[in-house]
Amino acid sequence: MNALINISYIVASILFIFGLKMLSSADTARRGNMVSALGMLIAIVATLLNEGMSYHWIIIGLIVGGTIGATAAKMVKMTAMPEMVALFNGFGGIASLLVGWSEFHAHPQSPAFTMVAVSLAVLIGGITFSGSLIAYAKLAEKIDGKPLLFSGQQVVNGALVIMAVLLVIVFATSANAYPALVLLIILALALGVLAVIPIGGADMPVVIALLNSYSGLAACAAGFVILNNVLIVAGALVGASGLILTTIMCKAMNRSLANVLFSGFGSATSSSAAGGGYQGEAKPITADDAYYILEAARSVIFVPGYGMAVAQAQHVVKELGDLLENNGAEVKYAIHPVAGRMPGHMNVLLAEANVPYEQLVVPEDVNPVMSTVDVAIVIGANDVVNPAAREDENSPLWGMPIINVDHARTCIVCKRSLNPGFAGVDNPLFFKENTRMLFGDAKKSFQGLVSQFKES
């Protein structure tokens, strides 16, 4: 039986790796998800075949957890998907913490290696859980999304990390380790909170990716605790892919991970908006006027942001794009890697609206030819199109690669107001000579444009 279980774990691990590879392409992503799901099914069945397994609590857990998960997935809005991802990361972390804690209770006199694995599962799992809850609260605007900074914050965090390392050593070598474990759990939960509160809203995609990596590392440590090969492999894959994604997010903002974690981006003192913001006169435009501009356009680029998610406008944006194509225009959708509030947020929304993957472009593809584009339409994005990143050395966005929509012949910005976005940084794009502001709800605005095209 043990041989069959180990072979099943190997097969599951191979399926995880192939599934993860297939997720890197839009054409194979759906199949990759199914391949990975099949691998997880095999791993679960193999685990349940273990002799001596008690199924009572497992069945109860499946019923309760499955009901909660299915209900949450059914009810969640696409705008709330980043918050749900944050919660998923957190629940993964707390699961690893509880596995480590439970294993210590079952085998309090385990070898030092197992004790170290228990302490790492508890430490990383606790940080992931409490940090994810703070990320959820910021994304859901339950608490202020701006960084919360205090004097000596980095010193305090550094001291807590040193204390955590010492507690791991004490826990692994002490005959009476339980007090050290309890202190480690409390310290881990505190570290998670203190690690995320100084991070501002603009950095949430990086935080989500990093917490995802943490949840994988916690699961990997839990795998060593219970000596489960497939959990070790799966946790390592999640941890590594999360770190790679974090690196991609940081590169997209031209910032280091340390700068993201410790700079307090988006705080009032760091924002150029603190001095009163950029001055100028915005030029409002109606949907009727925007129609005439778009009707004459031969190249149009949509730049989606979180405002599109809030308005749930992705379907009508796709419909307008199809009408523009029928009118003879070349249509593209430019997506910045950190647009929205989680990695791939805009890709998910446009995929939901069945936008062809071939029409999606990244800043490096479109910026060199932006001056030849007739119309760039910005839908609720702020930081990823903010020219202050190029023009204002005092801006916290300085040096961040952006989509140069201000270089297009005409830029139409669809927004509810001139207020800054989630990061709290004002945007001089609104006052550029070639910018027109289409104020109002994005969905209603584009529905008006769609109606105009259909009537004509």
E strands in 239-358: 299-304, 330-334
Round to whole Å and give the CA distance between 160 and 127.
Answer: 12
**∠ Cα 355 413 272 (to 5°):** 120
161: helix, coil or strand?
helix
Which of the 8 DSSP states describes residue 401? -
Which residues neighbour 322 within 8 Å (Cβ) at sequence distance 6 or greater?
none
Report residue 188 as tokens: 């881990």
162: helix, coil or strand?
helix
**∠ Cα 359 365 367 (to 5°):** 115
**∠ Cα 235 236 240 (to 5°):** 120
Work out the number of other CB atoms within 10 angstroms of the CB of residue 225: 29
Round to whole Å and give the CA distance between 365 and 334.
Answer: 9
Q: How many CA atoms lie within 13 A of 324 on its CB side?
A: 30
Q: Which of 100, 59, 439 is nearest to 286 (CA)?
A: 439
What residue type is 389 in one-letter code? A
Round to whole Å and give the CA distance between 319 and 358.
Answer: 16
Round to whole Å and give the CA distance between 196 and 264.
Answer: 10
Which of the 8 DSSP states describes residue 52? T
Say whether 383 is catalytic: yes
Report residue 4 as tokens: 């069959």
Round to whole Å and give the CA distance between 447 and 450.
Answer: 5
- Which stretch of DSSP H or E encloses residue 354? none
Catalytic residue among 383, 392, 406, 426: 383
Q: Give me the residues paired with residue 35 across strands.
A: none
269-278: burial string, b at 16+ Cβ within 10 Å, e else: ebbbbeeebb
Strand order in the sheet with 330-334: 360-361, 330-334, 299-304, 375-379, 410-415, 435-439
Q: Which residues are catalytic?
A: 383
